[in-house]
Amino acid sequence: MLTDDGKHLYVSWDEYNLLIERLALKVHASGWEFDQILCLARGGMRPGDVLSRVFDKPLGIMSTSSYRAEAGTIQGRLDIAKYITMPKGELAGRVLLVDDLADSGVTLKAVVDRLRSMPAISELRSAVIWTKGVSTFVPDYHVELLETSPWIHQPFEEYDDLRPEALAKKFVV
């Protein structure tokens, strides 16, 4: 649900799962055949997992991090992992890069530039749920274009500040 001021988008688990399914259908409708999926951790892990299952393709993981300050709301220095985790072999062939969103576009552009320099990758396309209007990078596939570039409140964020002690209280009878 987008707030009236257009500055916040609140997404439920049901909406989130439907958006991932719509992303899978967009990729499928394009007719593009790919060999592997690479998701960006952490935001791209859930969409990457679902797409890996739907398309029955191996899933690789690359860790990136840029949101640190102000409880993860201010973008800081971009860190990209040196290594990619794959179930077997190396990242190669036609690769679908998956993340949750193209926010500023900085992370996706940096990762795409790095991946395009890898000779084993013959073709690379990117897929996200949301592309914000301020993004400098436009993915090949997205479900929603958010012109007002709202802050997206994703359903799993409830765990960002939840510690084991507080979680345990949910199960005390």
Residue-wise pLDDT tens digits, 126-166: 999 999 999 999 999 999 999 999 999 999 999 999 999 99
- Decide if 164 is inside a domain: no
CATH of the domain at 141: 3.40.50.2020
Nearest alpha-carbon partner for 25 in 141, 115, 137: 141
- Decide if 2 is inside a domain: no
Q: What is the mean pLDDT of residues 63-79?
A: 63
Tell me the residue range of the domain where 58 lies. Answer: 12-145
- Decide if 6 is inside a domain: no
Q: Element (H or E) spanning 15, and its range? A: helix 13-30
Q: Which residue has the tokens 């409880």?
A: 71
Burial of 55 (0-12, 13-18, 19+ CB in 10 A): middle
- Decide if 4 is inside a domain: no
Here the tokens at position 36 are: 């592997």
Q: Give the chain's domain count.
A: 1
Could you report the per-residue pLDDT of 133-143, keeping only the tens digit for each? 999 999 999 99
- Decide if 151 is inside a domain: no
What lies within 8 Å, CB to CB, of 84 at 6+ separation is 38, 60, 61, 62, 90, 91
- Decide if 165 is inside a domain: no
- Decide if 1 is inside a domain: no
